[in-house]
């Protein structure tokens, strides 16, 4: 509502913004004021109701949907027959880990493979790049750092191949640094795993609601009680206070104990989040009291001795203790490790801290959450060139939440696996695919361009050149692309129009066969090529199905297309099925990209205008 009225000016004032949002199906509002208990936010909703911009039925509908979701999730256990509230102990439960792993494996996309994958047993790997041992990168935006235990690509490969077969090559300092310090590297003051946490409430209770613009000043001026209301051992530094009824919303937390590095070396240590401080052996090494919540972590580079106990003290709330082992001579370490390795696994990309919403981050390639280039960070590009110079084959694993320029990788890497931000089991999923335990089956849900120069200006809302449907250039990797370790074949299509003609819908059927010697899943994609009329896309995905087949197994695959599936939008905004000849293709990707598939044609008459 605030964005609609105050920022984007879509509505003239806040009550009209309420009506626009609710009628579009938006049931709850989320911004800094709603999260900060700002007083008076209900006024605009009351105004909208009093002015008949919305009705009580509209309000009831939103409330029913909101409370139904809470009811089903066990968030209203006091109601008769309601599901039980889920305890925090279910986080990381085995069945949830299995689901997370399956989701990660199915989403990863094998973009290139010259035959080096799956990796052969006994292969010696050197894992290079800033994200090889990273765990923060596994999570995207708006995700909890308190999810299940994260598995890096390094750990996944060690588990799959054996620790002796995999060597980590530390990277230099990078904008992607900042992984949560694990409990295994933390001890309480009396030597137990974790840290001692103390929670302090304000001496004077804070208001239930704050007048607009006053909360930050009141919180900054708050004084806290001398004695903690709760003292307990916690696994690390993090926001775990929601299960503590005695701790108020505004509070101060203090974590004390020891940081114990597993090995000697150069580390970057600090905090992410905002509103806290960190000292190590009595020296301030991270001060986040004036930072934004989504700024990059604030870290200090230190020489640390493996096994030594370093006294740490973190204070504040909304902070996480983070670190990164880095190298003082990454190029020399890369050359040394490559000499003893058969294959280099380069794990590169971005983090959701860089490509985030409304950040204050301005570094090469990024400005306030917006990307200014599709290229990888310069230090990663330089590392890849050094890796190529060693002569060892490179298997590239990329982690990112938006398209990046993979032209270099397409020309120089032996294989490329797009892993995205794959979640807590991402390293296991990547290792399973690289070693062949899992057949890759993901497909690109967007186009990978070479440069921002391939894209229309951001402020140009015309569709020309935008998305795979209207892009006339040659992408590095097209929408829908993805490889497999097995081979699938498609039988000729059977196209059956609905009664009265294809403009009323049609059925498309093919037979899909696993022609290889490995079980696998194929994502059969159906694309339409439309009659030539202004405004129609050059091509459009109108259906897809994921099919699991054993070697030699075949199965019929059927798509039922409605008039809306067959429709397109003319320049005047009218949606209809255009008269003329269509081409329909079912295959492993877009037609014309060299993948397996079959194409057929059909004709349709002009339909009546369809609802928008």
CA-nearest of 384, 415, 345 to 117 is 415
Helix H or strand E encompassing 523: strand 520-529
- Cα–Cα dist 134/150, whole Å: 9
Cα-Cα-Cα-Cα dihedral of 200, 202, 205, 210, to 10°?
A: -110
How high is the pLDDT of residue 368? 80
Q: Measure the CA–CA gap between 566 and 560, rounded to whole angstroms.
A: 11
Q: Which long-range contacts (CB under 8 A, 24 or more apart) does 286-295 make?
A: 288/316, 288/319, 289/316, 292/359, 292/360, 293/318, 294/353, 294/356, 294/357, 294/358, 294/359, 294/360, 294/361, 295/359, 295/360, 295/361
281 contacts 310 by C-beta, under 8 angstroms: yes
- Structure tokens given for 337: 């490790």
Which residue's entry shows tokens 């004709």?
Answer: 603
Give CB contacts under 8 A, 24+ apart, made by 556-560: 556/509, 556/510, 556/511, 556/512, 557/509, 557/510, 557/511, 557/512, 557/524, 557/586, 558/507, 558/508, 558/509, 559/507, 559/508, 559/509, 559/526, 559/586, 560/505, 560/506, 560/507
Phi, psi (degrees; rounded to nearest 5) at 411: -85, -25
In Å, how far are 528, 529, 530 from 581, measured between CA atoms?
A: 11, 9, 7
Two tokens, residue 10 = 């879509």
pLDDT by residue (tens digit) across 538-583? 999 999 999 999 999 999 999 999 999 999 999 999 999 999 999 9
Please name which of 366, 359, 441 lies closest in space to residue 400, comparing C-alpha atoms: 366
The pLDDT value recorded for residue 377 is 96
Residues in the chain where the model's pLDDT stays below 70:
none
Cα-based torsion angle of the residue sequence 513, 516, 521, 525 in order, rounded to the nearest 10 degrees: -50
CA angle 179, 182, 183 (to 5 degrees): 160
Task: List b or e across 456-465, with b for residues whose CB sees 16 or more CB atoms inside 10 angstroms.
Answer: eeeeeeeeee
User: What is the b/e burial string over 539-569, where b = at least 16 CB atoms within 10 angstroms of the residue's CB?
Assistant: bbbbbeeebebeeeeeeebebebebebbbbb
SS (H, E, C) 240-271: CHHHCCCCCCCCEEEEEEEECCCCCEEEEEEE
Alpha-carbon separation of residue 428 from 98, 159, 333, 433 (angstroms): 11, 8, 25, 9
User: Which helix (H) or strand (E) is 64 found in, with range?
Assistant: helix 56-72
- Per residue, what are the HEC states of 152-204? CHHHHHHHHHCHHHEEECCCCCCCCCCEECCHHHEECCCCCECEEEEEECECC
d(CA 276, CA 291): 9
The closest alpha carbon to 414, from 344, 502, 321, 463, belongs to: 344
Centre a 10 Å sphere on the Cβ of residue 267 and count the other Cβ atoms it contains.
23
Domains in the chain, ordered, with CATH? 2-72 (no CATH), 95-172+327-454 (3.40.50.1700), 180-326 (2.60.120.260), 486-604 (2.60.40.10)
Euclidean distance between CA atoms 307 and 323, whole angstroms: 16
Are 453 and 375 within 8 A, CB to CB?
no
pLDDT for residue 108:
98
How much is the pLDDT for 278?
98
Burial classification of residue 474, based on how many CB atoms lie within 10 Å of its CB (0-12 exposed, 13-18 middle, 19 or more buried): exposed
Three-state secondary structure readout of 150-162: CCCHHHHHHHHHC
CB environment 23-60: b (16+ within 10 A), e (fewer): eeeeeebeeebeeeebeebeebbebbbeeebbeeebee
Q: How many angstroms separate the CA atoms of 78 and 267, rounded?
A: 49
pLDDT of residue 242: 86
Q: Is 24 helix (H, G, I), strand (E, B) or coil?
A: coil
CA 412 to each of CA 113, 385, 586, 592: distance values in angstroms, whole numbers, following the listed order? 11, 9, 31, 24
Output the furthest CA–CA distance in the chain (Å, rounded). Answer: 82
- From start to end of 350-440, where are the E strands? 362-363, 366-367, 370-371, 394-399, 415-418
- What pLDDT, on the 0 to 100 scale, is given for residue 365? 92
pLDDT for 357: 79
Q: How far is CA 132 from the centre of its chain?
A: 17
Residue-wise pLDDT for 400-420, tens only, equals 999 999 999 999 999 999 999
Q: Identify the pLDDT of residue 237.
A: 96
**Number of H-type helices and E-type strands within the chain:** 14, 30
Residue with tokens 């909890």: 144
**Cβ contact 58:51 at 8 Å:** no
Global pTM reads: 0.94
């Amino acid at each position: 509502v605030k964005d609609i009225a105050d920022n984007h000016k879509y509505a003239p004032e806040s009550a009209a913004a309420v009506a626009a949002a609710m009628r579009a199906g938006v049931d709850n509002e989320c911004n800094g004021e709603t999260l900060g208990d700002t007083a008076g936010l209900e006024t605009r909703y009351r105004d909208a109701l009093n002015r008949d911009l919305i009705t009580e039925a509209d309000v009831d509908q939103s409330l029913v949907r909101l409370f139904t979701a809470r009811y089903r999730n066990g968030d209203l256990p006091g109601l008769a027959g309601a599901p039980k509230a889920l305890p925090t102990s279910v986080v990381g439960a085995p069945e949830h880990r299995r689901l997370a792993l399956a989701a990660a494996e199915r989403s990863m996309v094998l973009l290139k493979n010259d035959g080096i994958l799956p990796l052969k047993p006994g292969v010696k790997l050197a894992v290079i790049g800033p994200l090889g041992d990273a765990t923060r990168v596994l999570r995207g935006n708006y995700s909890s750092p308190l999810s299940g235990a994260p598995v890096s690509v390094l750990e996944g490969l060690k588990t799959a191949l054996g620790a002796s077969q995999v060597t980590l090559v530390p990277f230099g300092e990078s904008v992607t640094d900042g992984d949560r310090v694990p409990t295994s590297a933390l001890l309480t003051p009396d030597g137990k795993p974790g840290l001692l946490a103390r929670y302090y409430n304000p001496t004077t209770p804070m208001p239930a609601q704050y007048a607009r613009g006053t909360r930050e000043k009141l919180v900054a001026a708050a004084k806290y009680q001398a004695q903690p209301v709760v003292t307990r051992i916690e696994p690390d530094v993090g926001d775990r206070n929601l299960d503590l009824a005695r701790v108020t919303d505004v509070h101060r937390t203090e974590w004390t104990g020891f940081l114990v590095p597993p090995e000697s070396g150069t580390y970057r240590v600090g905090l992410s989040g905002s509103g806290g401080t960190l000292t190590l052996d009595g020296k301030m090494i991270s001060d986040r009291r004036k930072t934004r919540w989504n700024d990059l972590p604030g870290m200090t580079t230190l020489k640390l001795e493996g096994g030594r106990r370093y006294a740490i003290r973190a204070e504040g709330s909304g902070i996480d203790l983070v670190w990164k082992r880095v190298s003082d001579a990454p190029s020399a370490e890369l050359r040394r490790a490559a000499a003893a390795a058969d294959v280099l696994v380069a794990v590169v990309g971005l983090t959701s801290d860089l490509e985030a919403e409304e950040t204050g981050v301005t570094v090469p390639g990024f400005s306030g959450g917006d990307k200014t280039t599709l290229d990888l960070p310069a230090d990663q590009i330089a590392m890849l060139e050094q890796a190529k110079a060693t002569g060892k084959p490179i298997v590239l694993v990329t982690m990112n939440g938006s398209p990046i320029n993979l032209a270099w990788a397409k020309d120089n890497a032996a294989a490329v696996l797009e892993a995205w931000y794959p979640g807590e089991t991402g390293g296991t999923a990547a290792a399973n695919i690289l070693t062949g335990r899992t057949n890759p089956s993901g497909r690109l849900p967007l186009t990978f361009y070479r440069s921002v120069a391939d894209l229309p200006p951001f402020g140009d809302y015309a569709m020309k050149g935008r998305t795979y449907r209207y892009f006339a250039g040659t992408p590095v990797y097209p929408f829908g692309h993805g490889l497999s370790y097995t081979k699938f074949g498609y039988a000729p299509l059977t196209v059956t129009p609905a009664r009265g003609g294809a403009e009323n819908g049609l059925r498309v059927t093919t037979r899909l066969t696993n022609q290889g010697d490995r079980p696998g899943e194929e994502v059969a994609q159906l694309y339409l090529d439309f009659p030539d009329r202004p405004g129609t896309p050059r091509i459009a995905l109108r259906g897809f199905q994921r099919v699991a087949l054993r070697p030699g197994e075949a199965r019929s695959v059927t798509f039922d297309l409605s008039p809306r599936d067959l429709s397109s939008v003319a320049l005047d905004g009218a949606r209809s099925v255009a008269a003329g000849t269509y081409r329909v293709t079912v295959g492993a990707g877009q037609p014309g990209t060299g993948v397996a598939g079959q194409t057929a044609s059909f004709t349709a008459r002009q339909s009546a205008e369809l609802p928008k």
